[in-house]
């Protein structure tokens, strides 16, 4: 992805977050210059990949398949100094955009529509070998449990949520009309390096073409503290 595109997406997401009155932690507004001065007292942010995360999944078609995310808090089972057992994110998809089908081996999460457009999440049960199962999927949405056929598209209107269990394949898509959607995620610890099983092979973090200066650093770009 071009850096100019990443910068524009972050600014769009900041604007959407302000529209729905969600206050962000200070580090979400740090510039690269701020990060250059940040000492070891901020290693929790570095080690647990808090902050901005814009991805085209290595496909080069961000406007069709992509995601903008901001991780607000996260634990790290691999580093015992971090004792949080939970994570929280904000996410944005543009109208007509989608994110790939995947499941998590360990993470359970709630996906919440915080405002804007509707969001559709297609659900399947997944197997250990990565295959999709043609079996009924147990869906929990805001206190209501139901069993739906494999491949059902669950609609989340603003304020609604769905619980995604381990081995539950899910994707995201947004209608072409109606503007972007702001999503929330409340979950167990997030590990993008080891706990994502995509149905079709894709990348996770983008290669970046530096065509202008960075507005915000991505969570994969922090340098160690001096």
Q: What is the pLDDT of residues 19-77, one digit of tens each?
A: 999 999 999 999 999 999 999 999 999 999 999 999 999 999 999 999 999 999 999 99
Is the pTM higher than 0.95? The answer reads: yes
Residue 5: phi, psi to the nearest 5? -70, -45
Domains along the sequence of the chain with CATH: 3-198 (2.60.120.10)
pLDDT at 14: 98
Q: What is the pLDDT of residues 147-203, one digit of tens each?
A: 999 999 999 999 999 999 999 999 999 999 999 999 999 999 999 999 999 999 999
Helix (H) or strand (E) holding 46, with range, is helix 43-47
pLDDT at 1: 95
- Both tokens of 115, joined, read 């405002």
CA–CA distance, 1 with 57 (Å, rounded to integer): 10
CA–CA distance, 166 with 27 (Å, rounded to integer): 30
Q: What is the pLDDT of residues 90-144, one digit of tens each?
A: 999 999 999 999 999 999 999 999 999 999 999 999 999 999 999 999 999 999 9
pLDDT at 175: 98
**What's the pLDDT band for 205 if we cut at 50, 70, 90?**
confident
């Amino acid at each position: 992805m071009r850096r100019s595109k990443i910068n524009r997406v972050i600014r769009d997401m900041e604007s959407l977050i302000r529209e729905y009155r969600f206050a962000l932690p200070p580090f979400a507004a740090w510039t690269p210059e701020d990060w250059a001065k940040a000492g070891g007292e901020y290693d929790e942010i570095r080690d647990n990949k808090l902050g901005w995360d814009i991805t085209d999944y290595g496909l080069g078609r961000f406007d069709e398949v992509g995601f903008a995310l901001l991780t607000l808090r996260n634990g790290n089972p691999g580093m015992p100094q971090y004792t949080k057992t939970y994570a929280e994110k904000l996410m944005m998809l543009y109208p007509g955009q989608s994110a790939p089908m995947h499941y998590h081996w360990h993470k359970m999460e709630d996906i919440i529509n915080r405002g804007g457009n509707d969001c559709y999440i297609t659900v399947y049960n997944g197997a250990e070998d990565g295959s999709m199962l043609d079996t009924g999927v147990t869906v929990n949405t805001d206190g209501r449990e139901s069993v739906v056929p494999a491949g059902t598209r669950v609609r989340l209107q603003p304020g609604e949520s769905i619980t995604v269990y381990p081995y539950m394949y899910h994707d995201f898509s947004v209608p072409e009309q109606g503007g972007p959607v702001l999503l929330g995620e409340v979950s167990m610890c997030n590990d993008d390096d080891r706990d994502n099983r995509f149905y079709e092979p894709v990348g996770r973090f983008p290669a970046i073409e530096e065509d202008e200066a960075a507005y915000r650093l991505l969570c994969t770009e922090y340098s160690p503290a001096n």
